[in-house]
Amino acid sequence: MVMRFGERGEGYVVGQFALLGLLVLALWLTPSFSPPWLTWLGRGLAGVGLGVLLLAAWQLGRNLTALPRPKPEGYLVQQGLYRVVRHPIYCGVLLWALGSSLAHLNPWTLGLCGLLFVWLERKASLEERWLEERFPDYAAYRRRTKKLIPWIY
């Protein structure tokens, strides 16, 4: 079976990495208006986010993919961080982005962080649909776990 670009959510991945790249550029190239206490708080939050991201990626194991469509040979991970929250990698990315934006406070970093939140919300919504189609027990898993962010999907 031949798949065309976009059938597995490639556009969301391209957009996600473009926004992350722009955020990193903004962190390097724009002035910071963050007071010292907020810089430290933001760095701590960014560190926690990076830790969550790495732990969640490790717990996914061979199921790890940047694409929102699950791998055909994959299985539903329901242990570790995934026992508590759906999409902990997105949660880690967003914690890193928010922490970094607070540590380097300016309109560019905050705006890009906000766009990344919206983008990942859309990607997670699509992924939720595909996970329900792929795994019959996903609906029960979804009911007993927390959302990435309470007001989305």
Write out pLDDT tens, residues 89-133.
999 999 999 999 999 999 999 999 999 999 999 999 999 999 999
Is residue 31 within 8 A of residue 43, CB to CB? The reply is no
Asked if residue 12 has pLDDT above 80, the reply is yes
Q: Domain extents for the chain?
A: 43-144
Q: Is 31 helix (H, G, I), strand (E, B) or coil?
A: coil
91: which 2 tokens? 């949660």
Question: Could you give the angle at which helices 10-29 and 88-103 cross, rounded to 10 degrees?
Answer: 20
Which of 80, 115, 82 lies closest to 97, judged by CA?
115
Is residue 148 within 8 A of residue 87, CB to CB? The reply is yes
State the pTM of this model: 0.90
Report pLDDT for 153: 47
Is residue 82 within 8 A of residue 135, CB to CB? The reply is no
The confidence band for 148, taking pLDDT boundaries of 50, 70 and 90, is low
Find all residues with CB under 8 Å of 153, minimum gap 6, and list them.
121, 124, 125, 128, 147
Q: Is 85 helix (H, G, I), strand (E, B) or coil?
A: strand
Report pLDDT for 147: 77
Cα 65 to the center of its chain, rounded Å = 12
What average pLDDT score do residues 81-96 get? Answer: 95
Alpha-carbon gap, residue 131 to 105, rounded angstroms: 36
Average pLDDT of the chain, as a whole number? 92
Report pLDDT for 5: 55
The confidence band for 17, taking pLDDT boundaries of 50, 70 and 90, is very high
Cα 40 to the center of its chain, rounded Å = 22
Asked if residue 85 has pLDDT above 80, the reply is yes
